Amino acid sequence: MGRCVIKSLPEMKLARSRVEKAKLIRGEKTVAPSLSSFAKGKKYLIKTFGCQGNVRDEETMAGLLELAGFTKTTVEKEADLVIINTCAVRENAEDKVYGEIGKFKANKKANKDFMLAVCGCMMQEEGVAQKLLASYPHITLIFGTHNVPDLLDLLAESVERHKTIVDIHSFAGDIIEDLPAKRNDPYKAFVNISYGCDKFCTYCIVPYTRGRERSRPLEDILKECKELIEAGYKEITLLGQNVNSYGKDFKDGTSFATVLEEVAKLGIARLRFMTSHPWDFSLEMIDIIAKYPNIMKCIHLPVQSGSTEMLRLMGRRYTREEYLALVKNIRERIPDVALTTDIIVGFPNETAEQFEDTLTLCEEVKYDAAFTFIYSPRKGTPAAAIADNVSDEDKHERFNRLLKVIESGVMSHSKTMVGKTYKVLVDGPSKKDETMLSGYTENSKLINFRGPSYLKGEIVDVKIIEDHAFSMIGELVEDPLIIKAKAFKENLLKDPLIKEFLSVSKAIDEDESLIALRKDIEAAQRDLASKVVDDEAHKIAKEKYASLMKEYEEHPLIHNYAALHDDVESLLKEITEGLK
């Protein structure tokens, strides 16, 4: 493999160890001159599989690439750099990746500078990188989840040395701040609050691919959220494999409840979070969710199985009864809460009775949505070593039965929504029908409705008229023009120039010295009017009036107002023209 430079390869043993302490690394990234001249005029495309953690990594990579000078494209054929960001959580997630990699052989043929990089969780598995190198010579770079911050250096090295670079660290992981981001959505954002996972559920690969559980400093989380709010974001989802454990590594009492409360207080319109492990869901968290109206009453609470014995074998650390007690507690304290979940069917040796336990639990909880998966053995995890006596056929049959139970639970909620009005954050045109808009309610129901496209990014009232299991049809309650006018007013008032103009104008009204001066000017005006023109007394009164006016105009606040005046006028003109 002379064309390859292998800097590091993953090792499951290392990935499992939790000995190193996470370091906090700050500092902005620089771009090697070789990479910036290579990037000139070149386009990148990133294809992401897997969870929101990967989506957030995509945004970081996009931010880094744009820093280097690449521009984004969505057209595969015209991409000069493609990054395939993989997921390892189930086999079917992995299967898709090979097809994707094969597809870009054509780009390499047509363009000698073409670069193909493969990254993400799948690269953290032993043997995957070697397999890719052997079968796909058109790959230029392979890197792991811990190497995302080094993307620009790795690309520069590949460009300079004309080699395929492989760098996949297997270690507990650090926290890297100050990375740029090019976000995928202008209204909804993901914000990482913690990385990695220490739970080691016996079926799951994530603790190996993402490293130890480590919390981001609260100040960095709040800074990112503030910037998002200032940029007009309407929804923030706080991300972590298990958000409830936030702060345990600080040992100073900071908890997830603290983060929730502090972010809610910043005033974001909608605050969501995921994922919560049922094991350390505190009462304090429940109370904070109940207390703040901008924290969405929607909790993703993966149960995985309804059988206590299965849960024990899965290493989930709670029983069926404990889970149900938590659900009861949440529902008592947050009456309108929507609950969603993840379920694995066919964990090794799951008996028919144990599967029935999952069905009865779902019947009892009546989830608002559930992601259901057939168990997929992941090499290196404890469960993968268990001999399994359940046939694929049985697993599929159980899976289909589970879907029916889930659907009837979902429908029972959807039915109650018909005829009622809900707040919907408009995502844009519906994926299935371009003539409709779509968006999510506060409790995460997908609603399609007719309305003008400029409502994208607005929160509007929609009345539900038809229920389907996984999406609903609604109609706008307010006249779209009124919604537009309200949004216009809101945005205008948020504009920094307008804000300053209004605040200076208010200060002028309230300033003591100016109030006194205005009174003196009025008196001088009256005095002047009472004098006979051309009289000496008239001359004196005129001078008095002029000197008071001069003093008024030279006051710093009045000066400031005059300076802003023209800018405000041209901004308003620009906006009104834009509206036409």
Residue 206 makes contact with ligand SAH by CB under 6 A: yes
State the Cα–Cα distance between residues 512 and 507, nearest whole angstrom.
10
Query: Which of these ranges, 17-25, 204-212, 400-408, 548-556, lies near ligand SF4 under the rule CB under 6 A?
Result: 204-212
Hey, what are 229's tokens?
């709010």
Residue 342 makes contact with ligand SAH by CB under 6 A: yes
Tokens 């094969």 correspond to 102
Query: Which of these ranges, 65-73, 104-112, 146-154, 369-377, lies near ligand SAH under the rule CB under 6 A?
Result: 369-377
| Least distance in angstroms from the C-beta of 275 to ligand SAH | 4
Hey, what are 529's tokens?
């009017």
Among 188, 214, 378, 398, binds ligand SAH (CB under 6 A): 378
Nearer to ligand F3S, 49 or 440 (CB): 49
Handedness of CA 122, 123, 127, 130 (dihedral sign): positive
Tokens 């993966």 correspond to 302
CB atoms within 10 A of CB 141: 23
Q: Three-class SS of residue 483?
A: helix
Among 255, 304, 430, 441, binds ligand SAH (CB under 6 A): 304
CA angle 578, 475, 235 (to 5 degrees): 60
Q: Three-class SS of residue 517?
A: helix
Residue 272 makes contact with ligand SF4 by CB under 6 A: no
Q: Residue 321, class by beta-carbon neighbours within 10 Å (0-12 exposed, 13-18 middle, 19+ buried)?
A: exposed
Residue 348 makes contact with ligand SAH by CB under 6 A: no
Nearby residues of 345 by Cβ (< 8 Å), 6 or more positions away: 355, 358, 372, 373, 374, 375, 395, 398, 399, 402
Q: Three-class SS of residue 493?
A: helix
| Residue 576: cis peptide before it, omega within 30 degrees of 0 | no
Q: Identify what 200 binds: ligand SF4, ligand SAH, ligand F3S, none; CB under 5 to 8 Å per kind.
A: ligand SF4
Residues numbered 207 to 236 that lie near ligand SF4 (CB under 6 A) are: 207
Residue 242 makes contact with ligand SAH by CB under 6 A: yes
Side chain identity at 559, as an amino acid letter? H
User: Taking a C-beta distance cutoff of 8 angstroms, is the pair 241, 206 a contact?
Assistant: yes
Provide the binding-site residues for ligand F3S, judged by CB under 6 A: 50-51, 53-54, 87-89, 121, 205-206, 209-210
Q: Identify what 425 binds: ligand SAH, ligand SF4, ligand F3S, none; CB under 5 to 8 Å per kind.
A: none
| Least distance in angstroms from the C-beta of 207 to ligand SAH | 9
Nearer to ligand SF4, 172 or 201 (CB): 201
Q: Identify what 378 binds: ligand SF4, ligand F3S, ligand SAH, none; CB under 5 to 8 Å per kind.
A: ligand SAH
Q: Three-class SS of residue 507?
A: helix
Nearer to ligand F3S, 53 or 457 (CB): 53
Query: Which of these ranges, 15-23, 24-32, 370-378, 423-431, lies near ligand SAH under the rule CB under 6 A?
Result: 370-378
| Least distance in angstroms from the C-beta of 206 to ligand SF4 | 4
User: Taking a C-beta distance cutoff of 8 angstroms, is the pair 356, 310 a contact?
Assistant: no
Q: Identify what 376 binds: ligand SAH, ligand F3S, ligand SF4, none; CB under 5 to 8 Å per kind.
A: ligand SAH
- Judged by CB under 6 A, the number of residues near ligand SF4 is 10
| Least distance in angstroms from the C-beta of 378 to ligand SAH | 5
Closest residue (Cβ) to ligand F3S? Answer: 50
Residue 285 makes contact with ligand SF4 by CB under 6 A: no
Contact pattern from residue 177 through residue 196 relative to ligand SAH, giving x for each residue in contact according to CB under 6 A and a dash for the rest: --------------------
Among 195, 203, 281, 318, binds ligand SAH (CB under 6 A): 203
Query: Which of these ranges, 58-66, 198-206, 230-238, 256-264, lies near ligand SAH under the rule CB under 6 A?
Result: 198-206
State the Cα–Cα distance between residues 507 and 521, nearest whole angstrom.
19
State the Cα–Cα distance between residues 210 and 146, nearest whole angstrom.
7
Residue 169 makes contact with ligand SF4 by CB under 6 A: no
CA 390 to chain centre: 38
Q: Identify what 54 binds: ligand F3S, ligand SAH, ligand SF4, none; CB under 5 to 8 Å per kind.
A: ligand F3S
Q: Three-class SS of residue 462?
A: strand
Spell out where 68-180 has E strands.
Answer: 71-72, 81-86, 115-120, 141-143, 164-167, 175-176
CB atoms within 10 A of CB 512: 7
Side chain identity at 110, as an amino acid letter? A
Taking each helix axis from N to C end, the angle separating 392-417 and 352-365, rounded to the nearest 10 degrees, works out to 10
Q: Identify what 375 binds: ligand F3S, ligand SAH, ligand SF4, none; CB under 5 to 8 Å per kind.
A: ligand SAH
List contacts with ligand SAH (CB under 6 A): 89-90, 203-204, 206, 241-242, 275, 277, 302, 304, 342, 344, 373, 375-376, 378
